[in-house]
Homo-oligomer: A and B are copies of this chain.
Amino acid sequence: MRWSDTLIPTLRDAPQEAEIPSHKLMLRAGLMRRLAGGLYTFLPLGLRALRKLEAIVREEMDRAGALEVLMPAAQPRELWDRSGRYAVMGELMYHVTDRQKREMVLGPTHEEVITDLASREISSYRQLPKTFYQIQTKFRDEIRPRFGLMRAREFIMKDAYSFDTAWDAADRSYQAMYDAYARIFARCGLRTRVVEADTGAMGGKWSHEFMVPSEFGEDGIVECEACGYAANLERAERAAPAFDRPGGGGAPPPEEVATPGRSTIEDVSQFLGCAPERLIKTIIYVVDGKTVAVCCAGDREVNESKLRRALEASVVEMADEAAIRRVTGARVGFAGPWGLSIPVYADLGLDGAADYAAGANRDDAHLRHVVLDRDARIAARHDLCVARGGDPCPRCSGALRERRGIEVGHVFKLGTKYSDSFGATFLDEAGAARPLVMGCYGIGVTRTLQAVVEQCRDDKGIIWPLSVAPYRVALLVLNPGDGGAGEAAGRLAADLEARGIDVLLDDRDERAGVKFNDADLLGLPLRVVVSARGLAAGKIEIKPRAGKEVAQAPLEGAADRIAAMCGE
């Protein structure tokens, strides 16, 4: 392809909308353009990279035995009522009312549609296992679309759904997708980290995320270098802290202190001259309709998913002001774990907590010299807080490290959540009807493309891996009219294209400096330069984008050499 025949509107400066390096580079290299917040048009160069990435995904899905299908983006609302997710998804889904006044949603995911299909088309164990996938456009009404393709309102996903006769069979399907994901990201040139993850709105029993480590990632993850444990902060466990604490035996009794108007951790900490981690934070929750108190150290945040799992509950919500007053007898900000008629759950970070301060369950008052086990009745202790760097690893004696990551893939063991809602059963060998056991699996295809750019770049531009580069070779002709350079470059490009190597021939009437800069910005894996001066010596110049070394190579046999460098 000749540069002058396509459209690659490179930019010297990134538009203001772009906040992170990959987003800036994708705009500057002319891969895409913004249509509106969270909506992007792929220009020819960006789409070529996207199609190559999709082809890798498709190949690995097919290799894993998954069957490609294509489901509509528009889905009848009734399906979402049936799964109970209409309410759960809330404003994240786009709603469309057609002219018959029927409501449809634009699917942010397709569990409902595929389970409905499976309930109709799968009837016997003989048809199982089956895994279906699609590469399809999804819609989400993000509160704050940002970072280009990282959090877009319309994006391409590969979603897959497995159906099995039983849990152990479902585990094999899960593992097959897990392995395929690992191959896909490796082939895209991405270094990923697999972390344990929360199942969130998807439901289900267990999940893993494939994360691309990046300071600009929207997800927090912790990992233990000693044993390899890694998890999303939403999910990450932690062990009880091992440090010695003052015992509660000889401590003085609790003492009430007036703390007029001091209702936040920060205020109380300053007022009492006591570090936040030596305060006990007490939060009133409504868990499946029952009111409970949860306490943890003042410098920690409760992880509501952990609370939900620990209490084996479905819905966890913070109590409102009236309920807090009713339960504690005090305004918000003065709750403490004692004298309550509701169960009190303590975070394991408070194990052996002695000489702490906490709310007095009376307006404008706190207690100090509190020894938790002595002064309060704790119903149970659990890991209830969000983990963070420095926490003890839950698997070994190491310490957790905190990082940021971009979630590019997510695999879920769903179990029978959806098959139960849709009555998706099969007849087993004995002729008994049993629910299909499901898994679901997603790759953010457009997000993965940007993650490649985020991970593969330097200060001059993108450094595409061969596998997903829009073209594998950037062929620059300096002064195309000079000494047959244009013709020689055209012949070389044709020779390479005949070998199946895609070439972007920069035939523009531009200065050499512009072409070199654009070549670095676009980041095609091999830069080949043809100039009249080189040709006079029978030479061309070859430089891998990722390397520093510029090689002079004979024009004779150059195509062979370039093809070999492209792995052909």
Contact = CB atoms under 8 A, between A and B. Distances in A.
B68 A47 contact: yes
A37 to B, nearest CB: 8
A147 B99 CA distance: 19
A516 B520 CA distance: 59
B113 A41 contact: yes
Nearest to A43: B69
Interface string A53-77: 0000000000001011111111110
A143 B99 contact: yes
B117 A41 contact: yes
Max chain B C-beta neighbours (<10 A), residue from A43, A48, A116: A43
Interface in A113-160: 113, 116-117, 120-122, 126-127, 130, 132, 137, 139, 141, 143, 153-154
A33 interface: yes
A338 interface: no
B69 A47 contact: yes
Given A72-B40, A96-B96, A153-B74, A67 B6 contact: yes
A389 interface: no
A400 B187 CA distance: 60
A44 B73 contact: no
A140 B451 CA distance: 34
A137 B40 contact: no
Nearest to A74: B154
B71 A41 contact: yes
Contact of A68 (B44, B68, B72, B74): B44
Contacts of A91: 99
Contacts of A106: 96, 106
A216 interface: no
A9 interface: yes
A44 B114 CA distance: 13
B39 A139 contact: no
A369 interface: no
A39 B74 contact: yes
Contacts of A95: 96
Contact of A67 (B4, B33, B39, B44): B44
A5 interface: yes
B72 A47 contact: no
A205 to B, nearest CB: 26
Nearest to A36: B76
A50 B65 contact: no
Contact of A121 (B7, B48, B143): B7
Given A7-B127, A96-B106, A106-B106, 10 more contacts: A7-B121, A7-B132, A33-B121, A35-B116, A41-B71, A42-B70, A47-B69, A73-B137, A74-B154, A95-B96
Given A98-B141, A99-B141, A143-B99, A72 B39 contact: yes
Max chain B C-beta neighbours (<10 A), residue from A36, A48, A130, A154: A36
B70 A41 contact: yes
A94 interface: yes
Interface residues of A, number: 52
12 contacts: A7-B121, A7-B130, A33-B117, A39-B75, A41-B72, A41-B117, A42-B70, A42-B71, A48-B68, A91-B99, A96-B96, A137-B137
Given A35-B113, A99-B143, A113-B41, A154 B73 contact: yes
Contacts of A120: 33
B5 A35 contact: no
A132 B44 CA distance: 9
A35 B94 contact: no
Contacts of A39: 72, 74-76
A554 to B, nearest CB: 33
Contacts of A132: 7
Interface string A144-184: 00000000011000000000000000000000000000000
Given A75-B35, A113-B35, A117-B41, A70 B47 contact: yes
A106 B65 CA distance: 34
B71 A35 contact: yes
A35 B69 contact: no
Nearest to A155: B72
Interface string A69-94: 11111111000000000000001001
A35 B76 CA distance: 8
B70 A73 contact: no
A548 B284 CA distance: 79
Nearest to A6: B67
Closest 5 CB pairs of A and B: A42-B70, A39-B72, A44-B67, A36-B76, A41-B71
A69 to B, nearest CB: 6
Nearest to A35: B72
A4 B67 CA distance: 12
A252 to B, nearest CB: 53
A74 B42 contact: no
